[in-house]
């Protein structure tokens, strides 16, 4: 069956055209003209008539287009409409991959931006900052590797797989996290944590020496606990012979770990390794809820090593539960910490203002249940991010201190960088190099004197310096000789 549609779109102006055509002898539009009329030519048409005639043709074209559209098959119209819809959907769901920006080799990547109107206050060589002013902290990503310069160094607790890391690297990271989840499960040894800690600090073998409590964490293999970590323990007891050192670790709480620590015990130093009972350590803190969610799989551990993030949390909760001094196992202690109370160290300062630009959590001294520690733990539980570089470590303590500084009830001291971090991570190779010439020897001597005068400890940034050899005559060579007890280490001759 053939269907014919007749569409009429006459307007009032069309009627005027018809009337004009009648006046000029043309057949009205819509009527069937005779054969003779089609051959009629108007001799001298007037200008208004030409205008009307032009508009009449435009109207015919419009009517034809409408007729064509309405005669399209439904499937063809659907196809025409589908094309823009498909484009719009693709633009919404496409992935936008951002590439890291280039960082100048001279820029360390560690200089935060400062807020307008912040209070400026400078350190003197012999004074420390109180907690009565505010600072701005900006989180940053690790710098890219500059060509022709010393490779960029990342701090131990903040390393992260790069955005372009291979699938094999990410698989290794996931396997490590799987192993870490096994460590989280309580064991017969870990269930005795509270009793063993109490006996270590208050038992029959304890005396006044345990009034100075040091804590370390080691969430790694026994094989990776090397001479650098042992040197840290030696330096601690060299400066604090009557202190107690508790190392919270599964791997060191073993026969092999006991052999490593035996030389210290034989010398009368109080040191032990105890497997952590995470449920006990995190109980009645904000970390308890976060830890329960982690075990249930409700928390994404992320690409950053879960062991590093657990160490960040453990050090906070251990100090909150027991009070004392926490130090990383890549920190060499130079002097006694006996005059410190409720103190944390600045890693870097802004040279223009003299204000700290970042704190670090490698060395902390706090009383039991100090409110700042509670804020640190809350911040960890509320803002945990396992994929963001440094978010749960140095940036965490920097964020919290910048917010609570000046508030009543928060009494603490921010020590200047020379106290614990006389050399930043990107300058640490300078500590391991021996003298190259007379000028370099003079610089090494001056730097060593400055460290002995201003510093209480030196952070070696082990993640970056572990593979560096200690050259003869280097700053570290001199520090090792000053701080060792057994002094059975070797140096390389450059």
Q: Average pLDDT, stretch 3-13?
A: 47
pLDDT digits (tens, 9 = 90+) for 412-449: 999 999 999 999 999 999 999 999 999 999 999 999 99
Cβ-contact 178, 290 below 8 angstroms: no
Torsion of Cα atoms, 173 then 178 then 183 then 187, to 10°: -170
d(C-alpha 494, C-alpha 491), whole Å: 9
Task: Report pTM.
Answer: 0.67
Give 347's Cβ-side CA count (13 Å radius): 26
Helix (H, G, I), strand (E, B) or coil at 359: strand
- Cα–Cα nearest to 159, from 332, 261, 51, 304: 304
Cβ-contact 261, 251 below 8 angstroms: no
Residue appearing with tokens 């372009």: 164
Q: What is the DSSP letter of 210?
A: G
pLDDT band at 262 (very low <50, low <70, confident <90, very high): very high
pLDDT-wise least confident of 31-35, 230-234, 349-353, 434-438: 31-35
pLDDT of residue 181: 67
By DSSP bridging, strand 331-333 and strand 457-459 are antiparallel
Q: Taking all residues of the chain, what is their mean pLDDT, rounded to a whole number?
A: 77
Helix axes 47-71, 12-23, angle to 10 degrees: 130
pLDDT-wise least confident of 107-116, 119-128, 377-386, 420-429: 107-116
d(C-alpha 395, C-alpha 140), whole Å: 9
Q: Average pLDDT, stretch 149-157?
A: 34
The residue count for the chain: 494
pLDDT-wise least confident of 58-62, 177-181, 427-431: 177-181
Helix, strand, coil shares of the chain, percent, nearest 5, are: 45, 10, 45
d(C-alpha 156, C-alpha 461), whole Å: 6
Q: Average pLDDT, stretch 401-412?
A: 92
d(C-alpha 90, C-alpha 67), whole Å: 33
Torsion of Cα atoms, 311 then 313 then 314 then 316, to 10°: 120
Helix (H, G, I), strand (E, B) or coil at 363: strand
- Cα–Cα nearest to 244, from 273, 277, 218, 219: 273
pLDDT digits (tens, 9 = 90+) for 80-117: 666 656 655 544 444 343 333 333 333 333 333 333 33
**Chain centroid to CA 264:** 37
Which domains does the chain carry?
1-30+50-65 (no CATH), 129-142+169-415 (3.90.550)
pLDDT of residue 51: 59
Torsion of Cα atoms, 449 then 450 then 456 then 462, to 10°: -90
pLDDT of residue 125: 38
d(C-alpha 335, C-alpha 470), whole Å: 22
Please spell the DSSP secondary structure of 4-17, one letter per residue: --------HHHHHH
Residue appearing with tokens 């969610």: 293
pLDDT of residue 111: 33
d(C-alpha 344, C-alpha 393), whole Å: 13
Kindly list the distances between the CA atom of residue 35 and the CA atoms of 24, 32, 38, 40, in Å, as whole numbers in the listed order: 17, 10, 6, 10
Cβ-contact 353, 268 below 8 angstroms: no
Strand partners, 346: 359
- Helices (H) and strands (E) counted in the chain, each on its own, are 15, 10
Cβ-contact 276, 250 below 8 angstroms: yes
pLDDT of residue 173: 55
d(C-alpha 136, C-alpha 131), whole Å: 14
Residue appearing with tokens 């001479």: 227
- pLDDT exceeds 70 at position 318: yes
By DSSP bridging, strand 343-349 and strand 270-274 are unpaired
Cβ-contact 431, 332 below 8 angstroms: no
């Amino acid at each position: 069956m053939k269907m014919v549609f007749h569409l009429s779109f006459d307007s009032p102006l069309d009627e005027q055209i018809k009337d004009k055509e009648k006046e000029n002898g043309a057949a009205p539009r819509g009527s069937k003209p005779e054969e003779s009329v089609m051959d009629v030519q108007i001799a001298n048409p007037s200008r208004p008539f030409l205008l009307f005639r032009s508009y009449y043709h435009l109207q015919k074209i419009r009517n034809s287009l409408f007729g064509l559209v309405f005669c399209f098959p439904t499937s063809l119209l659907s196809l025409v409409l589908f094309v823009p819809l498909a484009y719009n959907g693709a633009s919404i769901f496409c992935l936008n991959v951002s590439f890291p920006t280039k960082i100048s080799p001279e820029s360390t990547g560690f200089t935060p931006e400062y807020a307008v109107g912040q209070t400026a206050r400078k350190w003197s060589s012999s004074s420390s900052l109180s907690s009565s002013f505010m600072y701005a902290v900006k989180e940053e990503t690790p710098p890219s590797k500059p060509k022709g310069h010393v490779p960029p160094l990342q701090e131990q607790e903040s390393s992260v797989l790069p955005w372009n890391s291979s699938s094999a690297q990410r698989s290794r990271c996931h396997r490590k996290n799987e192993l870490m989840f096994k460590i989280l499960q309580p064991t017969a040894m870990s269930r005795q944590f509270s009793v063993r800690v109490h006996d270590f600090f208050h038992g029959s073998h304890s005396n006044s020496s345990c009034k100075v409590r040091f804590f370390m964490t080691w969430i790694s293999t026994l094989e990776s606990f090397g001479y650098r970590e042992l040197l840290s323990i030696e330096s601690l007891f060299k400066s604090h012979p009557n202190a107690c050192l508790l190392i919270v670790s599964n791997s060191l709480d073993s026969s092999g770990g006991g052999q490593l620590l035996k030389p210290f015990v034989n010398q009368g130093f109080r040191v032990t390794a105890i497997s952590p009972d995470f449920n006990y350590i995190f109980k009645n803190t904000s970390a308890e809820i976060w830890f329960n969610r982690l075990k249930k799989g409700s928390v994404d551990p992320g690409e950053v090593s879960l062991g590093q993030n657990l160490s960040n949390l453990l050090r906070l909760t251990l100090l909150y539960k027991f009070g004392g001094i926490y130090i990383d196992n890549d920190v060499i202690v130079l002097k006694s910490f006996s005059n410190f109370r409720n103190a944390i160290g600045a890693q870097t300062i802004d040279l223009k203002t003299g204000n700290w630009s970042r704190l670090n959590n490698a060395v902390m001294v706090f009383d039991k249940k100090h409110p700042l520690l509670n804020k640190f733990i809350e911040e960890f539980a509320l803002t945990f991010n396992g994929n963001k570089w440094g978010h749960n470590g140095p940036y965490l303590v920097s964020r919290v201190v910048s917010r609570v500084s000046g508030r009543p009830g928060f009494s603490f001291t921010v020590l200047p960088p020379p106290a614990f971090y006389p050399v930043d991570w990107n300058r640490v190779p300078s500590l391991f190099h021996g003298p190259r010439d007379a000028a370099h020897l003079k610089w090494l001597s001056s730097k060593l004197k400055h460290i002995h005068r201003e510093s209480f400890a030196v952070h070696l940034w082990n993640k970056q310096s572990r593979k560096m050899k200690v050259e003869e005559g280097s700053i570290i060579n001199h520090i090792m000789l000053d701080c060792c007890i057994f002094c059975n280490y070797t140096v390389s001759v450059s």
